[in-house]
Structure 1
Amino acid sequence: MIDEGELINLALESGMADAVLVGIFEIEFREDFRRACEANVCRRFNTSWMGPPAVGPIRILKERVRDYQSGLLVQTVHNRDGKFDLNGMMRAAVVHEELFRNLLKRIRLAYPAKELLPLSAGCCNFCAECSNPEGKPCRHPDQALSSLEAYGIDVLALKKKAGLVRQDAGATFYLVGLIFFNKR
Protein backbone atom coordinates (compact mmCIF):
# COMPACT_ATOMS: atom_id res chain seq x y z
CA MET A 1 0.00 0.00 0.00
CA ILE A 2 1.29 3.45 -0.87
CA ASP A 3 1.90 5.76 2.07
CA GLU A 4 0.62 9.12 0.84
CA GLY A 5 2.57 11.04 3.49
CA GLU A 6 5.74 9.34 2.30
CA LEU A 7 4.98 10.39 -1.28
CA ILE A 8 4.73 14.03 -0.24
CA ASN A 9 7.96 13.75 1.76
CA LEU A 10 9.76 12.12 -1.18
CA ALA A 11 8.60 14.97 -3.41
CA LEU A 12 9.79 17.68 -1.05
CA GLU A 13 13.09 15.88 -0.39
CA SER A 14 13.56 15.60 -4.17
CA GLY A 15 13.50 19.38 -4.55
CA MET A 16 9.86 20.06 -5.33
CA ALA A 17 8.63 23.36 -3.89
CA ASP A 18 5.13 22.01 -3.36
CA ALA A 19 3.48 18.61 -3.28
CA VAL A 20 -0.17 17.75 -2.68
CA LEU A 21 -2.45 14.80 -3.30
CA VAL A 22 -5.35 15.26 -5.69
CA GLY A 23 -8.38 13.14 -6.38
CA ILE A 24 -8.94 11.90 -9.92
CA PHE A 25 -12.34 13.55 -10.16
CA GLU A 26 -10.86 16.97 -9.32
CA ILE A 27 -9.16 16.95 -12.71
CA GLU A 28 -10.77 18.84 -15.59
CA PHE A 29 -10.02 17.74 -19.14
CA ARG A 30 -10.35 20.26 -21.95
CA GLU A 31 -10.25 19.59 -25.67
CA ASP A 32 -9.17 23.17 -26.42
CA PHE A 33 -5.76 22.50 -24.87
CA ARG A 34 -5.19 19.96 -27.62
CA ARG A 35 -5.92 22.68 -30.17
CA ALA A 36 -2.88 24.57 -28.87
CA CYS A 37 -0.86 21.43 -29.56
CA GLU A 38 -2.34 21.13 -33.03
CA ALA A 39 -1.41 24.78 -33.69
CA ASN A 40 2.15 23.66 -32.89
CA VAL A 41 2.64 26.25 -30.14
CA CYS A 42 5.48 24.17 -28.66
CA ARG A 43 6.93 23.35 -32.09
CA ARG A 44 6.79 19.62 -31.24
CA PHE A 45 3.45 18.59 -32.74
CA ASN A 46 3.62 15.20 -34.47
CA THR A 47 7.28 14.69 -33.52
CA SER A 48 7.00 12.62 -30.31
CA TRP A 49 5.35 9.42 -29.19
CA MET A 50 4.37 11.20 -25.97
CA GLY A 51 2.71 14.19 -27.64
CA PRO A 52 -0.23 14.60 -29.96
CA PRO A 53 -1.38 13.07 -32.13
CA ALA A 54 0.57 9.87 -31.26
CA VAL A 55 -0.33 9.96 -27.56
CA GLY A 56 -3.99 9.46 -28.48
CA PRO A 57 -7.30 11.30 -28.24
CA ILE A 58 -8.17 13.06 -25.00
CA ARG A 59 -11.20 10.82 -24.36
CA ILE A 60 -8.89 7.76 -24.30
CA LEU A 61 -6.31 9.55 -22.15
CA LYS A 62 -9.06 10.58 -19.73
CA GLU A 63 -10.08 6.91 -19.42
CA ARG A 64 -6.45 5.98 -18.77
CA VAL A 65 -6.25 8.55 -15.95
CA ARG A 66 -9.52 7.30 -14.47
CA ASP A 67 -7.89 3.87 -14.02
CA TYR A 68 -6.00 5.41 -11.09
CA GLN A 69 -7.26 6.48 -7.66
CA SER A 70 -5.07 9.47 -6.83
CA GLY A 71 -2.41 11.79 -8.09
CA LEU A 72 0.62 13.46 -6.57
CA LEU A 73 0.72 17.02 -7.92
CA VAL A 74 4.16 18.60 -7.63
CA GLN A 75 5.44 22.04 -8.49
CA THR A 76 8.81 23.69 -8.97
CA VAL A 77 9.31 27.45 -8.70
CA HIS A 78 11.70 29.34 -10.95
CA ASN A 79 12.93 32.93 -11.24
CA ARG A 80 13.00 34.77 -14.54
CA ASP A 81 14.15 38.09 -15.90
CA GLY A 82 10.88 39.48 -17.20
CA LYS A 83 7.92 37.79 -18.83
CA PHE A 84 9.80 37.02 -22.04
CA ASP A 85 12.90 35.36 -20.57
CA LEU A 86 12.76 32.34 -22.87
CA ASN A 87 16.31 31.21 -22.08
CA GLY A 88 15.56 31.24 -18.36
CA MET A 89 12.34 29.34 -18.95
CA MET A 90 14.15 26.71 -21.03
CA ARG A 91 16.80 26.27 -18.32
CA ALA A 92 14.04 25.96 -15.72
CA ALA A 93 12.32 23.26 -17.80
CA VAL A 94 15.55 21.23 -17.77
CA VAL A 95 15.84 21.63 -13.98
CA HIS A 96 12.18 20.71 -13.49
CA GLU A 97 12.47 17.58 -15.62
CA GLU A 98 15.61 16.50 -13.74
CA LEU A 99 13.87 16.95 -10.37
CA PHE A 100 10.72 15.22 -11.63
CA ARG A 101 12.65 12.23 -13.01
CA ASN A 102 14.59 11.96 -9.74
CA LEU A 103 11.32 11.94 -7.78
CA LEU A 104 9.85 9.32 -10.09
CA LYS A 105 12.94 7.14 -9.62
CA ARG A 106 12.65 7.44 -5.83
CA ILE A 107 8.95 6.52 -5.88
CA ARG A 108 9.65 3.51 -8.10
CA LEU A 109 12.37 2.37 -5.68
CA ALA A 110 10.03 2.74 -2.70
CA TYR A 111 7.09 1.06 -4.47
CA PRO A 112 8.53 -1.20 -7.19
CA ALA A 113 5.35 -3.20 -7.76
CA LYS A 114 3.15 -0.15 -8.27
CA GLU A 115 2.04 1.00 -11.68
CA LEU A 116 2.38 4.76 -12.09
CA LEU A 117 1.33 7.23 -14.76
CA PRO A 118 3.72 10.19 -14.64
CA LEU A 119 2.93 13.39 -16.56
CA SER A 120 5.32 16.32 -16.56
CA ALA A 121 5.59 19.83 -17.99
CA GLY A 122 6.09 19.94 -21.73
CA CYS A 123 6.87 17.31 -24.29
CA CYS A 124 9.16 14.35 -23.60
CA ASN A 125 12.86 15.18 -23.91
CA PHE A 126 14.43 11.89 -22.84
CA CYS A 127 15.92 11.13 -26.25
CA ALA A 128 17.83 13.72 -28.24
CA GLU A 129 15.58 12.78 -31.17
CA CYS A 130 12.36 10.82 -30.87
CA SER A 131 11.93 7.78 -33.10
CA ASN A 132 8.36 8.86 -33.94
CA PRO A 133 9.15 10.76 -37.18
CA GLU A 134 10.94 7.62 -38.45
CA GLY A 135 7.90 5.49 -37.62
CA LYS A 136 9.96 3.36 -35.24
CA PRO A 137 8.79 2.37 -31.73
CA CYS A 138 9.73 4.44 -28.70
CA ARG A 139 13.28 3.49 -27.67
CA HIS A 140 12.68 4.09 -23.95
CA PRO A 141 8.98 3.60 -23.11
CA ASP A 142 9.87 3.16 -19.44
CA GLN A 143 11.44 6.65 -19.40
CA ALA A 144 9.12 8.50 -21.78
CA LEU A 145 6.97 11.24 -20.25
CA SER A 146 3.85 12.79 -21.65
CA SER A 147 2.65 16.19 -20.50
CA LEU A 148 -0.41 17.28 -18.59
CA GLU A 149 -1.28 19.52 -21.53
CA ALA A 150 -1.09 16.65 -24.04
CA TYR A 151 -3.62 14.83 -21.84
CA GLY A 152 -5.87 17.90 -21.98
CA ILE A 153 -5.59 18.54 -18.23
CA ASP A 154 -6.50 22.06 -17.12
CA VAL A 155 -3.40 22.70 -15.03
CA LEU A 156 -4.46 26.09 -13.67
CA ALA A 157 -7.86 24.80 -12.54
CA LEU A 158 -6.19 21.82 -10.86
CA LYS A 159 -3.63 24.04 -9.13
CA LYS A 160 -6.42 26.27 -7.84
CA LYS A 161 -8.37 23.30 -6.47
CA ALA A 162 -5.19 21.98 -4.84
CA GLY A 163 -4.25 25.36 -3.33
CA LEU A 164 -1.03 25.68 -5.34
CA VAL A 165 -1.69 29.07 -6.92
CA ARG A 166 0.78 31.63 -5.63
CA GLN A 167 0.65 35.38 -6.07
CA ASP A 168 3.81 37.09 -7.25
CA ALA A 169 4.94 40.09 -9.24
CA GLY A 170 5.77 38.10 -12.37
CA ALA A 171 9.40 37.45 -11.47
CA THR A 172 8.69 33.77 -10.91
CA PHE A 173 6.92 31.02 -12.78
CA TYR A 174 5.89 27.50 -11.96
CA LEU A 175 6.21 24.12 -13.63
CA VAL A 176 4.14 21.15 -12.52
CA GLY A 177 4.13 17.40 -12.73
CA LEU A 178 1.51 14.85 -11.78
CA ILE A 179 2.06 11.20 -10.90
CA PHE A 180 -1.04 9.03 -10.88
CA PHE A 181 -1.11 5.95 -8.65
CA ASN A 182 -3.38 3.44 -6.96
CA LYS A 183 -3.19 3.27 -3.18
CA ARG A 184 -3.36 -0.52 -2.98
Structure 2
Amino acid sequence: MTNILDVIPRHVAHHHKIPISSIKLSEEVRNMCEQNRCGHYGKNWVCPPAIDDLDKIKKDFSSYDKFIVLYEVYELKNQYDWKGMVDSAIDFQHKLLDVKNQISKETRFKILGVGACALCKKCTYIDGEPCRRPDDKIISLEAHGIDVISLMKDNGLKYNNGPNTVTYIGGIMY
Protein backbone atom coordinates (compact mmCIF):
# COMPACT_ATOMS: atom_id res chain seq x y z
CA MET A 1 0.00 0.00 0.00
CA THR A 2 1.35 3.43 -0.95
CA ASN A 3 1.48 5.84 1.98
CA ILE A 4 0.06 9.30 1.23
CA LEU A 5 2.95 10.98 3.05
CA ASP A 6 5.46 9.10 0.86
CA VAL A 7 3.82 10.23 -2.39
CA ILE A 8 3.43 13.97 -1.79
CA PRO A 9 7.08 15.13 -1.64
CA ARG A 10 7.74 13.73 -5.12
CA HIS A 11 5.05 15.95 -6.63
CA VAL A 12 4.25 18.99 -4.45
CA ALA A 13 6.86 21.21 -2.78
CA HIS A 14 4.92 22.29 0.30
CA HIS A 15 2.71 20.13 2.48
CA HIS A 16 1.60 20.32 6.10
CA LYS A 17 -0.65 18.14 8.20
CA ILE A 18 -3.20 20.42 9.81
CA PRO A 19 -6.13 19.68 12.10
CA ILE A 20 -9.17 18.72 10.08
CA SER A 21 -11.16 20.79 12.58
CA SER A 22 -9.50 23.91 11.10
CA ILE A 23 -11.41 23.38 7.84
CA LYS A 24 -14.48 25.54 7.97
CA LEU A 25 -17.10 25.26 5.27
CA SER A 26 -18.71 28.58 4.52
CA GLU A 27 -21.94 29.37 2.74
CA GLU A 28 -20.43 32.80 1.89
CA VAL A 29 -17.50 31.23 0.03
CA ARG A 30 -19.79 28.83 -1.76
CA ASN A 31 -22.06 31.75 -2.70
CA MET A 32 -19.11 33.38 -4.48
CA CYS A 33 -19.38 30.50 -6.95
CA GLU A 34 -23.01 31.36 -7.61
CA GLN A 35 -22.01 34.99 -8.16
CA ASN A 36 -19.76 33.61 -10.92
CA ARG A 37 -16.72 35.66 -9.91
CA CYS A 38 -14.39 33.27 -11.74
CA GLY A 39 -16.64 32.80 -14.76
CA HIS A 40 -17.00 29.02 -14.46
CA TYR A 41 -20.32 28.69 -12.63
CA GLY A 42 -22.51 26.32 -14.63
CA LYS A 43 -19.73 25.71 -17.13
CA ASN A 44 -17.54 23.03 -15.55
CA TRP A 45 -18.03 19.57 -14.03
CA VAL A 46 -16.08 20.57 -10.88
CA CYS A 47 -18.01 23.78 -10.22
CA PRO A 48 -21.47 24.46 -8.86
CA PRO A 49 -24.16 23.61 -9.71
CA ALA A 50 -22.60 20.37 -11.06
CA ILE A 51 -21.22 19.38 -7.64
CA ASP A 52 -22.92 18.50 -4.36
CA ASP A 53 -24.55 21.16 -2.21
CA LEU A 54 -22.87 22.30 1.01
CA ASP A 55 -24.92 19.96 3.25
CA LYS A 56 -23.75 16.88 1.31
CA ILE A 57 -20.18 18.20 1.30
CA LYS A 58 -20.28 18.66 5.10
CA LYS A 59 -21.52 15.09 5.52
CA ASP A 60 -18.78 13.78 3.22
CA PHE A 61 -16.06 15.79 5.01
CA SER A 62 -17.18 14.44 8.39
CA SER A 63 -16.16 10.94 7.27
CA TYR A 64 -12.45 11.90 7.18
CA ASP A 65 -10.22 12.54 10.17
CA LYS A 66 -6.91 13.76 8.67
CA PHE A 67 -6.00 16.60 6.31
CA ILE A 68 -2.82 17.65 4.53
CA VAL A 69 -2.72 21.06 2.90
CA LEU A 70 -0.63 21.11 -0.31
CA TYR A 71 0.66 24.21 -2.02
CA GLU A 72 3.07 25.54 -4.61
CA VAL A 73 4.43 29.05 -5.02
CA TYR A 74 4.91 30.07 -8.65
CA GLU A 75 6.97 33.00 -9.93
CA LEU A 76 5.28 35.40 -12.34
CA LYS A 77 6.81 37.90 -14.78
CA ASN A 78 4.80 40.66 -13.10
CA GLN A 79 1.54 41.14 -11.23
CA TYR A 80 -0.39 41.18 -14.52
CA ASP A 81 1.04 37.91 -15.88
CA TRP A 82 -2.32 36.24 -16.57
CA LYS A 83 -0.76 33.55 -18.80
CA GLY A 84 1.69 32.70 -16.02
CA MET A 85 -1.17 32.41 -13.53
CA VAL A 86 -3.20 30.13 -15.82
CA ASP A 87 -0.19 27.97 -16.74
CA SER A 88 0.74 27.67 -13.05
CA ALA A 89 -2.80 26.62 -12.11
CA ILE A 90 -2.75 23.93 -14.81
CA ASP A 91 0.68 22.75 -13.59
CA PHE A 92 -0.63 22.53 -10.01
CA GLN A 93 -3.70 20.58 -11.15
CA HIS A 94 -1.43 18.10 -12.91
CA LYS A 95 0.71 17.74 -9.77
CA LEU A 96 -2.40 16.98 -7.72
CA LEU A 97 -3.52 14.45 -10.32
CA ASP A 98 -0.08 12.79 -10.14
CA VAL A 99 -0.44 12.55 -6.35
CA LYS A 100 -3.95 11.14 -6.74
CA ASN A 101 -2.77 8.50 -9.21
CA GLN A 102 0.11 7.40 -6.97
CA ILE A 103 -1.96 6.81 -3.82
CA SER A 104 -3.02 3.24 -3.30
CA LYS A 105 -6.56 2.43 -4.41
CA GLU A 106 -7.06 0.74 -1.01
CA THR A 107 -6.65 4.11 0.74
CA ARG A 108 -9.82 6.12 1.26
CA PHE A 109 -9.00 9.74 0.42
CA LYS A 110 -10.26 12.85 -1.32
CA ILE A 111 -8.08 15.34 -3.19
CA LEU A 112 -9.13 19.01 -3.15
CA GLY A 113 -7.74 21.31 -5.80
CA VAL A 114 -7.74 24.81 -7.15
CA GLY A 115 -10.12 26.54 -9.55
CA ALA A 116 -12.11 25.02 -12.36
CA CYS A 117 -10.86 21.87 -14.01
CA ALA A 118 -8.66 22.62 -17.01
CA LEU A 119 -7.73 19.08 -18.02
CA CYS A 120 -9.72 19.40 -21.25
CA LYS A 121 -9.65 22.34 -23.66
CA LYS A 122 -13.44 22.65 -23.36
CA CYS A 123 -15.54 21.13 -20.60
CA THR A 124 -18.40 18.93 -21.78
CA TYR A 125 -20.67 20.28 -19.03
CA ILE A 126 -21.68 23.21 -21.25
CA ASP A 127 -22.92 20.79 -23.93
CA GLY A 128 -24.72 18.51 -21.46
CA GLU A 129 -22.36 15.63 -22.20
CA PRO A 130 -20.65 13.39 -19.61
CA CYS A 131 -17.23 14.33 -18.30
CA ARG A 132 -14.44 12.93 -20.48
CA ARG A 133 -12.20 12.28 -17.47
CA PRO A 134 -14.45 11.62 -14.45
CA ASP A 135 -11.73 9.77 -12.52
CA ASP A 136 -9.32 12.69 -12.93
CA LYS A 137 -11.53 15.62 -11.95
CA ILE A 138 -10.57 17.41 -8.73
CA ILE A 139 -12.94 19.90 -7.09
CA SER A 140 -11.43 23.08 -5.64
CA LEU A 141 -11.34 24.01 -1.98
CA GLU A 142 -13.43 27.10 -2.74
CA ALA A 143 -16.13 25.12 -4.58
CA HIS A 144 -16.35 23.00 -1.43
CA GLY A 145 -16.96 26.24 0.52
CA ILE A 146 -13.51 26.54 2.10
CA ASP A 147 -12.11 30.01 2.79
CA VAL A 148 -8.55 29.27 1.69
CA ILE A 149 -7.03 32.50 3.03
CA SER A 150 -8.42 31.80 6.51
CA LEU A 151 -7.39 28.14 6.33
CA MET A 152 -3.79 29.12 5.66
CA LYS A 153 -3.74 31.96 8.18
CA ASP A 154 -5.38 29.90 10.95
CA ASN A 155 -2.68 27.25 10.52
CA GLY A 156 0.29 29.64 10.44
CA LEU A 157 0.92 29.17 6.72
CA LYS A 158 1.63 31.93 4.21
CA TYR A 159 -1.00 32.62 1.58
CA ASN A 160 0.74 35.64 0.05
CA ASN A 161 4.32 34.76 -0.82
CA GLY A 162 5.50 38.11 -2.13
CA PRO A 163 5.26 40.24 -5.23
CA ASN A 164 5.14 38.58 -8.62
CA THR A 165 4.12 35.22 -7.20
CA VAL A 166 0.94 33.19 -7.10
CA THR A 167 0.27 30.46 -4.55
CA TYR A 168 -2.01 27.57 -5.46
CA ILE A 169 -3.45 25.50 -2.65
CA GLY A 170 -5.04 22.06 -2.50
CA GLY A 171 -5.32 19.29 0.01
CA ILE A 172 -5.89 15.66 0.82
CA MET A 173 -8.50 14.38 3.24
CA TYR A 174 -8.03 10.81 4.44
Residue segments in structure 1 that go unaligned for 5+ positions in a row:
none
**Residue type of the alignment partner of 1:13:** R
When the two structures are superposed, what TM-score results if normalisation uses the length of structure 1? 0.84
Runs of 4+ in 1 over 6 A off after TM superposition: none
Aligned to 2:129: 136
* CA–CA distance in structure 1, aligned partners of residues 127 and 56 of structure 2: 24
* CA–CA distance in structure 2, aligned partners of residues 26 and 2 of structure 1: 26
**Number of residues paired by the alignment?**
174
Aligned to 1:22: 18
Conservation of the 8 A alpha-carbon contact between 1:19 and 1:74: yes
Q: Does 1:113 align with 2:106?
A: yes
| Structure 2 residue corresponding to 1:145, chosen from 138, 145, 149 | 138
Aligned to 1:12: 9
RMSD over aligned Cα atoms: 2.0
Aligned to 1:84: 80
**Residue type of the alignment partner of 1:61:** I
Residue 70 of structure 2 aligns to a residue in which SS? strand
Following TM superposition, by how much is the alpha carbon of 1:135 offset from its aligned partner in structure 2, in angstroms? 2.8
When the two structures are superposed, what TM-score results if normalisation uses the length of structure 2? 0.88
Following TM superposition, by how much is the alpha carbon of 1:163 offset from its aligned partner in structure 2, in angstroms? 2.8
Following TM superposition, by how much is the alpha carbon of 1:92 offset from its aligned partner in structure 2, in angstroms? 0.8
Aligned to 2:43: 47
* CA–CA distance in structure 2, aligned partners of residues 116 and 168 of structure 1: 28
Q: Does 1:175 align with 2:168?
A: yes
Conservation of the 8 A alpha-carbon contact between 1:20 and 1:162: no
Aligned to 2:120: 127
* CA–CA distance in structure 2, aligned partners of residues 90 and 20 of structure 1: 24
Residue 31 of structure 2 aligns to a residue in which SS? helix
Q: Identity of aligned pairs, percent?
A: 28
Which moves more between the two structures, 159-168 or 66-75?
159-168
* CA–CA distance in structure 1, aligned partners of residues 83 and 72 of structure 2: 17
Conservation of the 8 A alpha-carbon contact between 1:24 and 1:65: no
Conservation of the 8 A alpha-carbon contact between 1:74 and 1:177: yes
* CA–CA distance in structure 1, aligned partners of residues 159 and 25 of structure 2: 22
Following TM superposition, by how much is the alpha carbon of 1:167 offset from its aligned partner in structure 2, in angstroms? 5.9
Following TM superposition, by how much is the alpha carbon of 1:44 offset from its aligned partner in structure 2, in angstroms? 1.0
Question: How has the CA–CA distance of structure 1 residues 78 and 153 changed in structure 2, closer, same or farther, with 3 Å as cutoff?
Answer: same
Aligned to 2:156: 163
